[in-house]
Structure 1
Amino acid sequence: MRLEAVSITNFRCYREEVRIEFDDLTTFVGRNDIGKSTILEALEIFFNGDLVSMEQADANVHNADKTVSITCEFSELPPTLTLDAGAETTLADEYLLTKDGSLKIRKTFDCTNKKPTAEVLVIANHPTASSCSNLLELKEKELQKKVKDLGLEVALKGNPGMRRAIWAASGDLQLREIAIPVGKLKDDVKRIWDQIEPHLPMFALFQSDRSSRDSDNEVQSPMKAAVAAAIAEVQEDIARIQAKVREKAEEIARNTHAALATIDPNLASELTPEFSPPSAAKWQGLFSLSLSTDDGIPLNKRGSGVRRLVLVSFFKAEAERRLQTSAKRSMIYAVEEPETAQHPNNQRILIDSFKALSEDSGCQVLLTTHSPGFASSLPQESIRYVSRHSETKKPQIQSGVDAFGQVAEALGVTPDSRVQVLLCVEGPTDVLALKALSNALYQSDATLPNLASDDRLAFVVLGGGTLEHWVNQHYLRGLNKQEVHIYDGDVPEYAESARKVNERGNGSWAVVTTKHEIESYLHKDAISMAFGFQIEITDHPFEGKATPKVFGEAFVAHSGSGKPLKDSNAKRKLAQQAFPCMTAAMLDERDPDGEVRGWLRRLGSMLT
């Protein structure tokens, strides 16, 4: 399941409902004490209630109503649910989805109670006709009576089948969006929640201001997440164990029931065995994992920077692991201020790891930051700007193009004083590719700038979907730096963006590649050196397939994984492994007109 959005109402500063949509990578940016961490903690309460739990004081102080609600919307839903006696059903068949086909789950908390507990509801487009609005609450015998009264030809075993037959015979169901309680009721309604809950994403929150207790520090969350990730991959084994335990427990219960019937038949008739398997959270609680340092000093007693390095290492290792395996249950990693106490090199490692994780199927990453350097290195489409309305002072969240200028102003984005030229490209793989190509040419001609090490140049990743807005609005104007824009030739509209940059008259310039995209400048020998197989590289797509697609198909065939490789992952693999194998001779063969050399020579003339 994939988290699409969360709606928060009456929780801390969010008095009125605020809805936040999520991408694979989502970054919350804003000033201190503006409500960024509140969003992540609301999700922690929804999914776990462990690291952060709902308290009386969490209800908005300015609202007399002390009911807090957290509503999550999900896509990529389980195809079937298995209910009573092995009867399979679907969320759609049970009318448990919204009009848009998403699953919307709401947890409400009455914060007038000393220890608020969650009431779980499914918000769905559900039948409200009086004759069939409560079928989910009816027991088997009650459904059987309805079937007989309606004279329906349907098996009297399997509640889902009987419900479907009754709904089909009821005419106008009067479908409306209603809240269906599923967390406290028994029988089928409760079983539906028991079936949904194991499919929810695993959620791991890494807070920025942890206490220094042994049980709650920077090392524990990564290790807890490691246990959670491991459990997520053995769900089938856990299900088999639970089924075996259930089988044996119910056998013992039946034998006990039979013995009781010989003693007191009336009492025996009133007893019904009910099996409740442990939740995912309880399985996680059965295991612990810790780390110790070689010199005997407890890790949680080391400096904050060292402790946070565990976080860096965890994300780097997890990113690499998930690229090679396929976890069956989705994961959400939520990290507050990951740049805290970290050297810039470690920040870059973190950013690369976050991007790699977010590109993997079944994985989402949520971040908060108020660091200009960190935020500027993240994809622009991931940004969610959290602020307060200038008049009402209510929290508001903006995303996409509308937030760019405000983010820059709020964070006080300023370039390194050594930077003379901003090199603007579409995506992070373009950065790696250009650095590798310039380094290869620099080895044979030291008069050319080496983009991999020259501090006088700084890359700006514009993002293909928002490139025109960066150009039209000239968001970087306030930095007073000359700009060089290099765009792939695969999008015709980029020619217009390049023309506008070239017309500025301030020394900035832009080019569009003559080949389809930067990957078209690769040499097949570089791919062979990096991956052990060759592909034919063409200047433009052949039979509708560009270089990343051709490489992706060859990579899957060579590795035998059978899992399709998305173009974004193919581009990343080529950027990280194939481009560094390029030599000046290889590039000269692929670029006989010296196009790339020309860019670098022109760039070098701008530097002093």
Structure 2
Amino acid sequence: MKLKALKLRNFRSYNKESEINIQDLNVLIGKNDVGKSSILEALDIFFNGKPDKNDLCIANDNCRIDITCIFDELPETIILDDSTPTSLKDEFLLNSNKDLEIRKSYSVSDKGAVSEEAVIVCEYPDNENLSDLLSMKRTPLKTMLNSLNVDTKGVNKTKNKEIRAAIRNHYYTNNISTKTTEIKIDGRLDNEDNRKKIWTSLKKYLPIYSLFFVDKPLNDQDSDIQDPMKEIIKEVLSTNEILPLLDQLKDAVQNASTTLADNTIKKLNELDPTLAETLQSNFPKEPTWNSIFKLTLEDERGIPLNKRGSGLRRLVLLSFFRAQVESRKTANAPNVIYALEEPETSQHPDFQLMIVNALKELSDTNNAQVLFTTHNSNLAKEIPKEALRYIYSEGNTIKVENGLNDDGTDNVEIIDKIIETLGALPDPKNKVKVLIFVEGENDINGLKNFSEIMALNDSSTMKLTNNEAIAFIPTGGSQLKYYIEKKYLDGLTQAQFHIYDSDVPGYVKSVEQLNNEGVETKKGFNTTKRELENYLHHEAIIEQYSSLGINISIDEITDEEDVPEKVAIAINQAMGKSEWEAFDPEKQKKKISKVKRQLNEGAVKRMTIERMIERNSFEEIKMWLNTIKALV
């Protein structure tokens, strides 16, 4: 389950509802005090806490704060109110976009007291007879089913899911008509209300949210060195290996305690039967396991790290994220959202870049999402444009815009505002002699890595990594720094080398027109294979995913097939997910995009000269590199 969007209303500066699109990597940029930190803290309230009276927007139109989280990539089956798997779809708990939408509302009284309730916004059956269906436990469900005098043959009355389905089918013989409905799941619900149990179960599927304030005041219990240790405990307690053990312990404690409590009531009954009738044992809250376990780091003298220098503490935080990249290379890692406030604070420039690269890698691992704020132009340059979120005030409304438009094109107006806000200037390019035009960032990584392999075989081969004589210009979406450089270099006269895939007719035509100009300092090529990923050997791909704990099975690569899609389908099969065709095109596109990055950043490094020769890619790539060298 992943966070898809956040909606804020009446929270601090967000007086009118603002929606923030959330992807795997999200970088929040804007002027001071515009509302960047409020996004991170609103999420912390939703997942971990409660607001106080001062969080209510002073320009509010009522006394209620609304924080809404929308989730996609939902589990196919889910345990809600008994041990029988069901699904959010079958229980009509999805919104019109087939996502899970949960809104938490916090009412603030005149005296400053804050009360909370939570609802699921969903497309629910439009029939008043079904309005209380989810609030019923098994006994009232069976009573309602029996009162309808329907044929219950084949209905297992020990499973709430089947009873609810039978009741719905009684009122709808064909398609079930629905309407947008709010199903209350928390806040002043009776203990006998089944929705309390549904909410308790549902919370187990929500992501863990971990917020780090890198530059906050330090004390023994609350510091930026203590936080990573707390998050380690939270994540370990959420693993598939530990969760069943905790449930066993919880059941054992509750059963033993209930027995003793019931015996107490039994003895009370002997003294006063009237009073005993009004009492029953109950566990109003789930145990908070992470408050029981403590983890700290100390040196050999027993001095905790929060008593050491701030630089060392922040290096530990950096190391935590780098370690997370390694530990999350498995399919069973719990869903986690990491949020940071200005991670570059008090860091050496080298470490600033390291932490941003670690966060980018972390966002690309299984079940992880990353949000952070920054004012640092050098860090922002390293961020893909689709991850950029620009926050600004327009009138009395806070707006959040994306770096890319919905159709994937550059949101030029917003990107230019980001550059202006950050003061991001292009790097000096006096040394650049050749501009290498490619389709996107994945092609850049692929070409750089292929050049490294070729140089190991022949020292005269031109390496494209850290080469000041060349500058890459992606024609498609990529990092902000390439956008800046392209604008800076558009009017210059460096030699040009263009290499594009052969699967797009427009690119084939562009290369043909370029070469027809007959200019010696402009060279254009289309790949003879479908795209750069087709130059890989299938064994290199298998090895790369094996290193991530995913054992895929693919046969030899051909020149014409869609390799990223082929690998994405193989990963899907290896991880036991839904059939590939069951995913909507947008979700397929996301999965393929991740594969392309993994292939060009990882699988290429596992190529060898022998594998390149076997794939008939050695001579062609050598020719590209020699052409670039000649232009330089």
How many pairs were matched up? 590
Counterpart-to-counterpart distance in 2, 1:137 and 1:207: 40
Instruction: Give the superposition deviation at 1:48.
Output: 0.5
- Secondary structure of the residue that 1:62 maps to in structure 2? coil
- Secondary structure of the residue that 1:169 maps to in structure 2? helix
Q: Are 2:272 and 1:231 equivalent residues in the alignment?
A: no
Q: Provide Cα deviations, 1:435-475, integer angstroms capped at 9, x if missing partner.
A: 33333444566665432232344556665xx47x999x998
1:28 paired residue number: 28
Counterpart-to-counterpart distance in 2, 1:128 and 1:370: 49
Instruction: Give the superposition deviation at 1:398.
Output: 3.0
Q: Are 2:408 and 1:397 equivalent residues in the alignment?
A: no
| Candidates 399, 406, 412, aligned match of 2:417 | 406
Contact 1:99-1:125 within 8 A present in 2 as well: yes
| Candidates 53, 59, 67, aligned match of 2:56 | 59
- Secondary structure of the residue that 1:416 maps to in structure 2? coil
1:437 paired residue number: 450
- Secondary structure of the residue that 1:323 maps to in structure 2? coil
Q: Are 2:515 and 1:518 equivalent residues in the alignment?
A: no
Counterpart-to-counterpart distance in 2, 1:105 and 1:196: 11
Identify the range of structure 1 (331-340 vs 195-204) with the bigger mean alpha-carbon deviation.
331-340
2:251 paired residue number: 243
- Secondary structure of the residue that 2:401 maps to in structure 1? strand
Instruction: Give the superposition deviation at 1:313.
Output: 1.2
Contact 1:2-1:75 within 8 A present in 2 as well: yes
Contact 1:83-1:191 within 8 A present in 2 as well: yes
The aligned amino acid for 1:596 is: I
Instruction: Give the superposition deviation at 1:529.
Output: 9.7
Contact 2:391-2:398 within 8 A present in 1 as well: no
Counterpart-to-counterpart distance in 2, 1:201 and 1:133: 29
Closer, same or farther in 2 for the Cα pair 1:586/1:71, shift >3 Å? closer
1:335 paired residue number: 340
2:488 paired residue number: 478
Instruction: Give the superposition deviation at 1:158.
Output: 6.1
Instruction: Give the superposition deviation at 1:381.
Output: 2.1
Counterpart-to-counterpart distance in 2, 1:474 and 1:416: 9
Counterpart-to-counterpart distance in 2, 1:283 and 1:592: 55
Counterpart-to-counterpart distance in 1, 2:625 and 2:416: 30
The aligned amino acid for 1:415 is: P
| Candidates 237, 256, 260, aligned match of 1:252 | 260
Gap runs ≥5 in structure 2: 405-409, 581-590
1:216 paired residue number: 222
Identify the range of structure 1 (584-593 vs 235-244) with the bigger mean alpha-carbon deviation.
584-593
Contact 2:564-2:595 within 8 A present in 1 as well: no
Question: Pairwise mapping of residues 313-352 of structure 1 onto structure 2 (< 5 A)?
Answer: 313-324=319-330, 326-327=332-333, 329-352=334-357
Closer, same or farther in 2 for the Cα pair 1:487/1:165, shift >3 Å? same
The aligned amino acid for 1:63 is: N
Counterpart-to-counterpart distance in 2, 1:551 and 1:516: 17
Contact 1:35-1:395 within 8 A present in 2 as well: no
2:213 paired residue number: 207
Question: Pairwise mapping of residues 122-521 of structure 1 onto structure 2 (< 5 A)?
Answer: 122-127=120-125, 129-138=127-136, 143=141, 146-147=144-145, 149-152=147-150, 154=152, 162-170=163-171, 175-184=178-187, 185=189, 186-187=191-192, 188-233=194-239, 234-276=242-284, 278-279=286-287, 282-293=288-299, 298-324=304-330, 326-327=332-333, 329-389=334-394, 394-400=398-404, 401-402=410-411, 403-417=414-428, 420=432, 423-426=436-439, 428-442=441-455, 449-459=462-472, 466=477, 476-479=486-489, 482=494, 484-495=497-508, 511-521=525-535
Instruction: Give the superposition deviation at 1:33.
Output: 2.5
1:110 paired residue number: 107
Counterpart-to-counterpart distance in 2, 1:596 and 1:485: 13
1:80 paired residue number: 78
Instruction: Give the superposition deviation at 1:528.
Output: 10
Q: Provide Cα deviations, 1:34-84, integer angstroms capped at 9, x if missing partner.
A: 2222111111110012xxx41211111122523110011122334233426
Question: Pairwise mapping of residues 536-555 of structure 1 onto structure 2 (< 5 A)?
Answer: 540-541=559-560, 544=561, 546=563, 549=566
Counterpart-to-counterpart distance in 1, 2:514 and 2:43: 42
Contact 2:473-2:485 within 8 A present in 1 as well: no
Question: Pairwise mapping of residues 518-597 of structure 1 onto structure 2 (< 5 A)?
Answer: 518-522=532-536, 540-541=559-560, 544=561, 546=563, 549=566, 575=600, 579-580=604-605, 594-597=619-622
Contact 2:56-2:65 within 8 A present in 1 as well: yes
Identify the range of structure 1 (364-373 vs 86-95) with the bigger mean alpha-carbon deviation.
86-95
Instruction: Give the superposition deviation at 1:97.
Output: 2.5
Q: Provide Cα deviations, 1:497-530, integer angstroms capped at 9, x if missing partner.
A: 6578889999676543223333444568978998
The aligned amino acid for 1:38 is: S
Query: RMSD in angstroms over aligned alpha carbons?
Result: 4.3
Identify the range of structure 1 (418-427 vs 237-246) with the bigger mean alpha-carbon deviation.
418-427
Contact 1:2-1:76 within 8 A present in 2 as well: yes
Contact 2:426-2:485 within 8 A present in 1 as well: no
Instruction: Give the superposition deviation at 1:540.
Output: 0.7
Q: Provide Cα deviations, 1:200-259, integer angstroms capped at 9, x if missing partner.
A: 111111224322223222212222221111111022222222222233233333433444
Closer, same or farther in 2 for the Cα pair 1:310/1:498, shift >3 Å? farther
Closer, same or farther in 2 for the Cα pair 1:346/1:562, shift >3 Å? farther
Instruction: Give the superposition deviation at 1:593.
Output: 7.8
Closer, same or farther in 2 for the Cα pair 1:460/1:384, shift >3 Å? farther
Counterpart-to-counterpart distance in 2, 1:522 and 1:169: 57
Closer, same or farther in 2 for the Cα pair 1:529/1:69, shift >3 Å? closer
The aligned amino acid for 2:122 is: A
1:119 paired residue number: 117
Instruction: Give the superposition deviation at 1:14.
Output: 1.0
Contact 1:13-1:395 within 8 A present in 2 as well: no
Q: Provide Cα deviations, 1:79-103, integer angstroms capped at 9, x if missing partner.
A: 233426x566543444333233322
Q: State, as a whole percentage, how many aligned pairs show the same letter.
A: 33
Counterpart-to-counterpart distance in 1, 2:137 and 2:57: 39
Contact 1:73-1:102 within 8 A present in 2 as well: yes
Contact 2:210-2:337 within 8 A present in 1 as well: yes
Question: Pairwise mapping of residues 84-95 of structure 1 onto structure 2 (< 5 A)?
Answer: 90-95=87-92
Contact 1:12-1:58 within 8 A present in 2 as well: yes
Counterpart-to-counterpart distance in 2, 1:6 and 1:127: 26
